[in-house]
Chains A and B, each alone.
Chain A
Amino acid sequence: MTVLILTCEEDVTADMVVVHLHDAGVPVVRLDPADLTVGVSLSGEFVHGRFRGHLSAGGRLVSLGGLRSVWVRRPGVPAQRAQHASAWLTEEASQALYGMLRGSHARWMNHPDAARRARHKPWQLRLAQQCGLPVPATVITTFPRAAREFAERYPDLVVKPVSGAHPQDPPRAVPTSRVAPDTDFSAVAFGPTLLQRRIAKRADVRLTVVGEELLAARKAAAPDADPQEVDVRFAAPGSPWEPVEVPPRTAETVLRYMRGAELAYGAFDFVEDADGVWWFLECNQSGQFGFVEVETGQPIARTIAEWLGRPVPEERREADEPDVRAC
Protein backbone atom coordinates (compact mmCIF):
# COMPACT_ATOMS: atom_id res chain seq x y z
CA MET A 1 0.00 0.00 0.00
CA THR A 2 1.32 3.37 -1.09
CA VAL A 3 1.48 6.83 0.45
CA LEU A 4 0.48 9.54 -2.00
CA ILE A 5 2.02 12.96 -1.40
CA LEU A 6 0.57 15.96 -3.19
CA THR A 7 3.12 18.73 -3.16
CA CYS A 8 5.44 20.81 -5.29
CA GLU A 9 8.93 19.61 -6.18
CA GLU A 10 10.72 22.32 -4.21
CA ASP A 11 8.98 21.34 -0.98
CA VAL A 12 12.05 20.26 0.94
CA THR A 13 9.97 20.02 4.10
CA ALA A 14 8.04 17.16 2.51
CA ASP A 15 11.42 15.59 1.77
CA MET A 16 12.00 15.28 5.51
CA VAL A 17 9.03 12.91 5.66
CA VAL A 18 9.84 11.08 2.43
CA VAL A 19 13.24 10.16 3.87
CA HIS A 20 11.56 8.40 6.79
CA LEU A 21 9.06 6.64 4.53
CA HIS A 22 11.94 5.39 2.38
CA ASP A 23 13.76 4.16 5.48
CA ALA A 24 10.64 2.30 6.58
CA GLY A 25 10.24 0.71 3.16
CA VAL A 26 6.85 2.35 2.58
CA PRO A 27 6.09 2.91 -1.12
CA VAL A 28 5.64 6.58 -1.99
CA VAL A 29 4.24 8.37 -5.00
CA ARG A 30 4.85 12.10 -4.92
CA LEU A 31 3.28 14.39 -7.46
CA ASP A 32 2.22 17.95 -8.02
CA PRO A 33 -1.32 18.36 -9.34
CA ALA A 34 0.02 21.35 -11.30
CA ASP A 35 1.74 18.81 -13.54
CA LEU A 36 -1.48 17.07 -14.56
CA THR A 37 -1.29 16.18 -18.24
CA VAL A 38 2.44 17.03 -18.35
CA GLY A 39 4.12 14.34 -16.31
CA VAL A 40 1.13 13.37 -14.21
CA SER A 41 -1.72 11.27 -15.60
CA LEU A 42 -4.88 9.80 -14.16
CA SER A 43 -7.57 7.38 -15.17
CA GLY A 44 -10.64 5.98 -13.45
CA GLU A 45 -13.40 3.60 -14.53
CA PHE A 46 -16.81 3.20 -12.99
CA VAL A 47 -17.97 -0.06 -14.52
CA HIS A 48 -20.18 -2.93 -13.31
CA GLY A 49 -20.64 -1.37 -9.89
CA ARG A 50 -16.94 -1.04 -9.27
CA PHE A 51 -14.44 1.79 -9.39
CA ARG A 52 -10.89 1.33 -10.51
CA GLY A 53 -8.56 4.31 -10.68
CA HIS A 54 -4.90 4.89 -11.34
CA LEU A 55 -2.41 7.70 -11.08
CA SER A 56 0.90 7.91 -12.86
CA ALA A 57 3.80 10.24 -12.10
CA GLY A 58 7.52 10.07 -12.69
CA GLY A 59 7.25 6.60 -14.19
CA ARG A 60 5.33 5.26 -11.18
CA LEU A 61 1.83 3.85 -11.46
CA VAL A 62 -0.40 3.47 -8.44
CA SER A 63 -3.91 2.12 -8.07
CA LEU A 64 -6.22 4.37 -6.06
CA GLY A 65 -7.33 1.23 -4.24
CA GLY A 66 -3.70 0.70 -3.29
CA LEU A 67 -3.36 3.97 -1.41
CA ARG A 68 -2.99 3.78 2.34
CA SER A 69 -2.92 7.55 2.86
CA VAL A 70 -2.88 10.87 1.04
CA TRP A 71 -0.82 13.77 2.36
CA VAL A 72 -1.94 17.14 1.00
CA ARG A 73 1.15 19.24 1.68
CA ARG A 74 1.80 22.09 -0.76
CA PRO A 75 0.03 21.02 -3.97
CA GLY A 76 0.06 23.35 -6.94
CA VAL A 77 -3.05 24.46 -8.78
CA PRO A 78 -4.26 21.46 -10.81
CA ALA A 79 -3.08 21.51 -14.44
CA GLN A 80 -1.45 24.91 -13.98
CA ARG A 81 1.52 23.81 -16.10
CA ALA A 82 -0.56 22.07 -18.76
CA GLN A 83 0.09 23.06 -22.34
CA HIS A 84 -3.33 24.68 -22.62
CA ALA A 85 -3.75 25.80 -19.02
CA SER A 86 -6.93 27.67 -18.19
CA ALA A 87 -9.32 28.19 -15.32
CA TRP A 88 -11.66 25.71 -16.96
CA LEU A 89 -8.95 23.06 -17.27
CA THR A 90 -7.95 23.62 -13.64
CA GLU A 91 -11.51 22.97 -12.53
CA GLU A 92 -11.70 19.88 -14.74
CA ALA A 93 -8.41 18.56 -13.38
CA SER A 94 -9.31 19.38 -9.79
CA GLN A 95 -12.65 17.61 -10.02
CA ALA A 96 -11.11 14.57 -11.69
CA LEU A 97 -8.16 14.20 -9.30
CA TYR A 98 -9.69 15.09 -5.96
CA GLY A 99 -13.04 13.57 -6.89
CA MET A 100 -11.45 10.20 -7.59
CA LEU A 101 -9.18 10.38 -4.57
CA ARG A 102 -12.23 10.96 -2.39
CA GLY A 103 -13.44 7.53 -3.46
CA SER A 104 -10.22 5.76 -2.56
CA HIS A 105 -10.89 5.20 1.17
CA ALA A 106 -7.31 6.23 1.88
CA ARG A 107 -6.66 8.13 5.13
CA TRP A 108 -6.14 11.84 4.57
CA MET A 109 -3.80 14.34 6.09
CA ASN A 110 -5.91 16.44 5.80
CA HIS A 111 -9.15 15.73 3.98
CA PRO A 112 -9.79 18.60 1.52
CA ASP A 113 -13.22 19.36 2.98
CA ALA A 114 -11.86 19.56 6.52
CA ALA A 115 -8.87 21.55 5.30
CA ARG A 116 -11.02 24.12 3.51
CA ARG A 117 -13.20 24.64 6.56
CA ALA A 118 -10.26 24.73 8.95
CA ARG A 119 -8.64 27.64 7.08
CA HIS A 120 -11.36 30.03 8.21
CA LYS A 121 -10.00 31.94 11.17
CA PRO A 122 -13.41 32.98 12.54
CA TRP A 123 -14.40 29.31 12.53
CA GLN A 124 -11.12 28.42 14.28
CA LEU A 125 -11.75 30.98 17.00
CA ARG A 126 -15.25 29.67 17.63
CA LEU A 127 -14.16 26.04 17.69
CA ALA A 128 -11.31 26.91 20.06
CA GLN A 129 -13.79 28.64 22.38
CA GLN A 130 -16.12 25.66 22.27
CA CYS A 131 -13.26 23.29 23.07
CA GLY A 132 -12.24 25.36 26.08
CA LEU A 133 -9.06 27.00 24.79
CA PRO A 134 -8.41 30.56 25.99
CA VAL A 135 -9.09 32.91 23.05
CA PRO A 136 -8.15 36.62 23.20
CA ALA A 137 -11.10 38.98 22.83
CA THR A 138 -11.56 39.46 19.10
CA VAL A 139 -13.80 41.43 16.76
CA ILE A 140 -14.14 40.98 12.99
CA THR A 141 -16.11 43.85 11.54
CA THR A 142 -16.73 46.27 8.71
CA PHE A 143 -18.36 48.78 11.08
CA PRO A 144 -15.89 51.53 12.08
CA ARG A 145 -18.05 52.24 15.09
CA ALA A 146 -17.82 48.62 16.27
CA ALA A 147 -14.04 48.81 15.92
CA ARG A 148 -13.91 52.07 17.90
CA GLU A 149 -16.08 50.66 20.67
CA PHE A 150 -13.96 47.51 20.80
CA ALA A 151 -10.84 49.66 21.08
CA GLU A 152 -12.40 51.54 23.99
CA ARG A 153 -12.99 48.26 25.80
CA TYR A 154 -9.61 46.78 24.84
CA PRO A 155 -7.20 49.67 24.27
CA ASP A 156 -4.19 47.41 23.64
CA LEU A 157 -5.02 45.83 20.26
CA VAL A 158 -3.44 44.07 17.32
CA VAL A 159 -4.74 43.81 13.76
CA LYS A 160 -4.16 40.85 11.49
CA PRO A 161 -5.58 39.53 8.20
CA VAL A 162 -8.76 37.50 8.57
CA SER A 163 -7.54 34.98 6.01
CA GLY A 164 -3.87 34.89 6.94
CA ALA A 165 -3.06 35.58 3.29
CA HIS A 166 -0.82 38.34 2.05
CA PRO A 167 -1.76 40.67 -0.84
CA GLN A 168 0.04 39.93 -4.09
CA ASP A 169 -0.71 42.94 -6.27
CA PRO A 170 1.79 44.27 -5.44
CA PRO A 171 3.34 41.67 -3.12
CA ARG A 172 3.13 42.86 0.47
CA ALA A 173 3.23 41.27 3.89
CA VAL A 174 0.63 42.05 6.53
CA PRO A 175 2.10 40.94 9.85
CA THR A 176 0.12 41.02 13.06
CA SER A 177 0.61 44.62 14.15
CA ARG A 178 -0.18 46.76 17.16
CA VAL A 179 -2.87 49.38 16.76
CA ALA A 180 -2.28 52.76 18.40
CA PRO A 181 -5.01 53.85 20.84
CA ASP A 182 -5.84 57.03 18.87
CA THR A 183 -6.16 55.20 15.55
CA ASP A 184 -8.72 56.34 12.98
CA PHE A 185 -10.90 53.29 12.30
CA SER A 186 -12.84 54.73 9.35
CA ALA A 187 -11.00 52.43 6.89
CA VAL A 188 -12.60 49.44 8.62
CA ALA A 189 -15.56 50.13 6.32
CA PHE A 190 -13.45 49.09 3.31
CA GLY A 191 -12.73 45.52 4.33
CA PRO A 192 -13.45 43.03 7.11
CA THR A 193 -10.99 43.84 9.86
CA LEU A 194 -9.83 41.52 12.62
CA LEU A 195 -8.87 43.26 15.83
CA GLN A 196 -7.71 41.28 18.83
CA ARG A 197 -6.71 42.12 22.36
CA ARG A 198 -2.93 41.93 22.54
CA ILE A 199 -1.64 39.35 24.98
CA ALA A 200 1.53 40.54 26.69
CA LYS A 201 3.57 37.47 25.93
CA ARG A 202 6.55 35.94 27.55
CA ALA A 203 6.82 33.34 24.79
CA ASP A 204 5.41 32.07 21.52
CA VAL A 205 4.39 28.43 21.38
CA ARG A 206 4.12 26.29 18.28
CA LEU A 207 2.26 23.08 18.94
CA THR A 208 2.36 20.54 16.12
CA VAL A 209 -0.27 17.83 16.30
CA VAL A 210 0.05 14.65 14.27
CA GLY A 211 -2.86 12.32 14.91
CA GLU A 212 -2.83 12.00 18.69
CA GLU A 213 0.82 13.03 19.05
CA LEU A 214 1.61 16.50 20.39
CA LEU A 215 4.98 18.14 19.85
CA ALA A 216 5.32 21.63 21.30
CA ALA A 217 8.11 24.15 20.97
CA ARG A 218 8.51 27.41 22.85
CA LYS A 219 10.35 30.57 21.87
CA ALA A 220 10.90 32.91 24.78
CA ALA A 221 10.32 36.59 24.14
CA ALA A 222 13.51 38.55 24.45
CA PRO A 223 13.43 40.99 27.40
CA ASP A 224 14.69 43.76 25.14
CA ALA A 225 12.37 42.89 22.24
CA ASP A 226 10.82 45.78 20.33
CA PRO A 227 7.33 46.06 21.86
CA GLN A 228 5.93 46.95 18.42
CA GLU A 229 7.09 43.63 16.93
CA VAL A 230 4.37 41.19 17.96
CA ASP A 231 4.51 38.77 15.02
CA VAL A 232 7.17 36.13 15.64
CA ARG A 233 7.43 35.39 11.91
CA PHE A 234 8.69 38.90 11.23
CA ALA A 235 10.63 39.62 14.43
CA ALA A 236 14.38 39.46 14.88
CA PRO A 237 15.56 35.86 15.44
CA GLY A 238 16.06 36.20 19.22
CA SER A 239 15.74 33.11 21.38
CA PRO A 240 15.75 29.66 19.81
CA TRP A 241 12.76 27.35 19.65
CA GLU A 242 13.00 24.76 22.40
CA PRO A 243 10.89 21.69 23.18
CA VAL A 244 8.29 22.21 25.88
CA GLU A 245 5.78 19.99 27.64
CA VAL A 246 2.14 20.57 26.82
CA PRO A 247 0.04 21.27 29.93
CA PRO A 248 -2.39 18.34 30.34
CA ARG A 249 -5.48 20.56 30.18
CA THR A 250 -4.22 22.18 26.97
CA ALA A 251 -3.42 18.79 25.47
CA GLU A 252 -6.92 17.59 26.16
CA THR A 253 -8.57 20.65 24.60
CA VAL A 254 -6.27 20.66 21.58
CA LEU A 255 -7.13 17.05 20.83
CA ARG A 256 -10.80 17.96 21.19
CA TYR A 257 -10.21 20.72 18.63
CA MET A 258 -8.53 18.27 16.24
CA ARG A 259 -11.46 15.88 16.49
CA GLY A 260 -13.95 18.71 16.04
CA ALA A 261 -12.08 19.98 13.00
CA GLU A 262 -11.60 16.44 11.64
CA LEU A 263 -7.91 17.15 11.15
CA ALA A 264 -5.08 14.64 11.25
CA TYR A 265 -2.46 17.40 11.28
CA GLY A 266 -2.47 20.89 12.72
CA ALA A 267 0.13 23.46 13.71
CA PHE A 268 -1.23 25.60 16.54
CA ASP A 269 0.07 29.04 17.39
CA PHE A 270 -0.26 30.15 21.00
CA VAL A 271 1.18 32.98 23.02
CA GLU A 272 2.09 32.34 26.63
CA ASP A 273 1.28 35.13 29.09
CA ALA A 274 2.97 36.01 32.36
CA ASP A 275 0.81 33.50 34.23
CA GLY A 276 1.82 30.69 31.89
CA VAL A 277 -1.55 30.57 30.14
CA TRP A 278 -1.41 29.49 26.48
CA TRP A 279 -3.72 31.75 24.44
CA PHE A 280 -4.98 30.32 21.18
CA LEU A 281 -4.18 32.39 18.10
CA GLU A 282 -4.77 30.00 15.23
CA CYS A 283 -4.42 26.47 13.91
CA ASN A 284 -2.67 26.14 10.55
CA GLN A 285 -4.03 22.96 9.02
CA SER A 286 -0.91 22.54 6.87
CA GLY A 287 1.50 24.67 8.86
CA GLN A 288 5.23 24.46 8.38
CA PHE A 289 7.09 22.19 10.78
CA GLY A 290 10.57 21.94 9.29
CA PHE A 291 11.90 25.00 11.08
CA VAL A 292 10.79 23.59 14.43
CA GLU A 293 12.38 20.20 13.82
CA VAL A 294 15.59 21.79 12.57
CA GLU A 295 15.89 23.91 15.72
CA THR A 296 14.58 21.53 18.37
CA GLY A 297 15.37 18.10 17.00
CA GLN A 298 11.78 17.03 17.68
CA PRO A 299 10.84 14.06 15.49
CA ILE A 300 7.94 15.72 13.69
CA ALA A 301 8.76 14.39 10.23
CA ARG A 302 9.17 10.87 11.59
CA THR A 303 5.85 11.14 13.42
CA ILE A 304 4.12 12.25 10.22
CA ALA A 305 5.76 9.40 8.30
CA GLU A 306 4.57 6.92 10.91
CA TRP A 307 1.02 8.25 10.67
CA LEU A 308 1.04 8.14 6.87
CA GLY A 309 2.65 4.72 6.78
CA ARG A 310 0.28 2.98 9.16
CA PRO A 311 -1.06 -0.28 7.74
CA VAL A 312 -4.55 -0.07 6.30
CA PRO A 313 -7.12 -1.98 8.37
CA GLU A 314 -8.60 -5.00 6.61
CA GLU A 315 -12.12 -3.57 6.69
CA ARG A 316 -10.92 -0.48 4.86
CA ARG A 317 -9.30 -2.57 2.14
CA GLU A 318 -12.56 -4.40 1.71
CA ALA A 319 -14.35 -1.07 1.48
CA ASP A 320 -12.32 -0.34 -1.63
CA GLU A 321 -14.22 -3.16 -3.27
CA PRO A 322 -17.73 -1.82 -2.66
CA ASP A 323 -20.72 -4.02 -3.12
CA VAL A 324 -23.22 -2.14 -5.27
CA ARG A 325 -26.04 -3.85 -3.37
CA ALA A 326 -25.04 -1.86 -0.27
CA CYS A 327 -26.72 1.17 -1.83
Chain B
Amino acid sequence: MQPFALNYARPAPELAVTTPYVYDSGLQLNVLVDGRVAASDHGLLREVGTTTSTAGSKTHFDD
Protein backbone atom coordinates (compact mmCIF):
# COMPACT_ATOMS: atom_id res chain seq x y z
CA MET B 1 0.00 0.00 0.00
CA GLN B 2 1.34 3.45 -0.86
CA PRO B 3 1.48 6.49 1.44
CA PHE B 4 -1.86 8.21 1.85
CA ALA B 5 -0.91 11.45 0.07
CA LEU B 6 0.04 9.55 -3.08
CA ASN B 7 -3.59 8.49 -3.47
CA TYR B 8 -4.07 12.07 -4.62
CA ALA B 9 -1.15 12.16 -7.05
CA ARG B 10 -1.74 12.90 -10.68
CA PRO B 11 0.54 12.78 -13.72
CA ALA B 12 3.13 15.55 -13.60
CA PRO B 13 2.21 18.50 -15.79
CA GLU B 14 4.09 18.75 -19.02
CA LEU B 15 6.83 21.30 -18.33
CA ALA B 16 8.92 20.53 -21.37
CA VAL B 17 8.46 24.01 -22.77
CA THR B 18 10.76 24.94 -25.61
CA THR B 19 12.07 28.29 -24.49
CA PRO B 20 12.76 30.76 -27.27
CA TYR B 21 15.84 32.17 -25.55
CA VAL B 22 19.38 31.08 -24.78
CA TYR B 23 21.80 32.05 -22.04
CA ASP B 24 24.38 34.66 -22.93
CA SER B 25 27.31 34.30 -20.53
CA GLY B 26 28.61 37.73 -21.48
CA LEU B 27 25.41 39.47 -20.43
CA GLN B 28 24.62 36.83 -17.78
CA LEU B 29 21.09 36.94 -19.18
CA ASN B 30 18.89 34.90 -21.47
CA VAL B 31 18.40 36.52 -24.84
CA LEU B 32 16.01 36.03 -27.73
CA VAL B 33 17.18 35.26 -31.25
CA ASP B 34 16.89 38.94 -32.14
CA GLY B 35 19.21 39.83 -29.24
CA ARG B 36 16.57 41.26 -26.93
CA VAL B 37 16.65 40.35 -23.25
CA ALA B 38 13.98 37.70 -22.61
CA ALA B 39 13.18 38.98 -19.10
CA SER B 40 12.11 42.33 -20.52
CA ASP B 41 9.36 40.70 -22.58
CA HIS B 42 6.63 40.07 -20.03
CA GLY B 43 4.23 38.88 -22.70
CA LEU B 44 6.67 36.17 -23.62
CA LEU B 45 7.26 35.16 -20.00
CA ARG B 46 3.53 34.85 -19.48
CA GLU B 47 3.25 32.71 -22.60
CA VAL B 48 6.06 30.26 -21.79
CA GLY B 49 5.19 30.10 -18.09
CA THR B 50 8.76 29.65 -16.90
CA THR B 51 8.31 32.10 -14.04
CA THR B 52 5.25 30.44 -12.54
CA SER B 53 5.03 28.76 -9.19
CA THR B 54 5.16 25.22 -10.54
CA ALA B 55 8.15 25.81 -12.81
CA GLY B 56 10.72 24.90 -10.21
CA SER B 57 8.89 22.06 -8.57
CA LYS B 58 10.71 19.24 -10.29
CA THR B 59 14.09 20.02 -8.84
CA HIS B 60 13.41 22.52 -6.08
CA PHE B 61 11.14 22.52 -3.06
CA ASP B 62 10.37 26.19 -3.22
CA ASP B 63 7.45 27.23 -5.35
Do A and B pair up? The answer is yes
- Closest residue of chain A to B55, judged by CB? A288
B50 CB contacts on chain A under 8 angstroms: 10, 12-13, 290
B4 CB contacts on chain A under 8 angstroms: 147, 159, 185, 187-188, 190-191, 193
The contact string, 1 if C-beta is below 8 Å from chain A, for chain B 37-49, is 1111010011001
6 tightest A-B contacts by CB? A290-B51, A191-B3, A15-B39, A9-B23, A171-B12, A177-B8
B21 CB contacts on chain A under 8 angstroms: 12
Do residues A175 and B10 form an inter-chain contact, with CB atoms below 8 A?
yes
Do residues B40 and A19 form an inter-chain contact, with CB atoms below 8 A?
yes
Interface size class of A (residues with CB under 8 A): 35 or more
Interface 9-mer from A45-53, A89-97, A162-170: A162-170
The contact string, 1 if C-beta is below 8 Å from chain B, for chain A 17-42, is 01100000000111000000000000
Interface size class of B (residues with CB under 8 A): 35 or more
Do residues B46 and A164 form an inter-chain contact, with CB atoms below 8 A?
no
Q: Is A286 an interface residue (CB 8 A)?
A: yes
Do residues B5 and A171 form an inter-chain contact, with CB atoms below 8 A?
no
Identify whether the interface residues of A are mostly helix, strand, loop, or mixed: mixed
Do residues B30 and A9 form an inter-chain contact, with CB atoms below 8 A?
yes
Do residues B28 and A18 form an inter-chain contact, with CB atoms below 8 A?
yes
Given the complex of chains A and B, what is the CA–CA distance between A233 and B49 in angstroms? 12
Q: Is A130 an interface residue (CB 8 A)?
A: no
Given the complex of chains A and B, what is the CA–CA distance between A9 and B24 in angstroms? 9
- Closest residue of chain B to A176, judged by CB? B8
A81 CB contacts on chain B under 8 angstroms: none
Where the two chains meet, the residues of A that have a C-beta atom closer than 8 Å to any C-beta of B are 5, 9-10, 12-13, 15-16, 18-19, 28-30, 58-59, 74, 119, 147, 159-161, 163-168, 171-175, 177, 185-188, 190-194, 206, 233-234, 267, 284-291, 293-295, 301
B10 CB contacts on chain A under 8 angstroms: 172-175
Do residues A172 and B6 form an inter-chain contact, with CB atoms below 8 A?
yes
Do residues B62 and A58 form an inter-chain contact, with CB atoms below 8 A?
no
Query: Distance (Å) between the CB of A268 and the closest chain B CB?
Result: 12
Given the complex of chains A and B, what is the CA–CA distance between A148 and B1 in angstroms? 18
A285 CB contacts on chain B under 8 angstroms: 62
B34 CB contacts on chain A under 8 angstroms: none
Q: Is B35 an interface residue (CB 8 A)?
A: no
Given the complex of chains A and B, what is the CA–CA distance between A147 and B7 in angstroms? 15
CB within 8 A of A74: which of B26, B46, B54, B56?
B56
Contact A10 B23, CB 8 Å, known A174-B9, A187-B1 = yes
B39 CB contacts on chain A under 8 angstroms: 12-13, 15-16, 18-19, 301
Do residues A168 and B58 form an inter-chain contact, with CB atoms below 8 A?
yes
- Closest residue of chain A to B25, judged by CB? A58
B7 CB contacts on chain A under 8 angstroms: 187
CB within 8 A of B2: which of A190, A289, A294?
A190
Do residues A295 and B46 form an inter-chain contact, with CB atoms below 8 A?
yes
A293 CB contacts on chain B under 8 angstroms: 42, 51
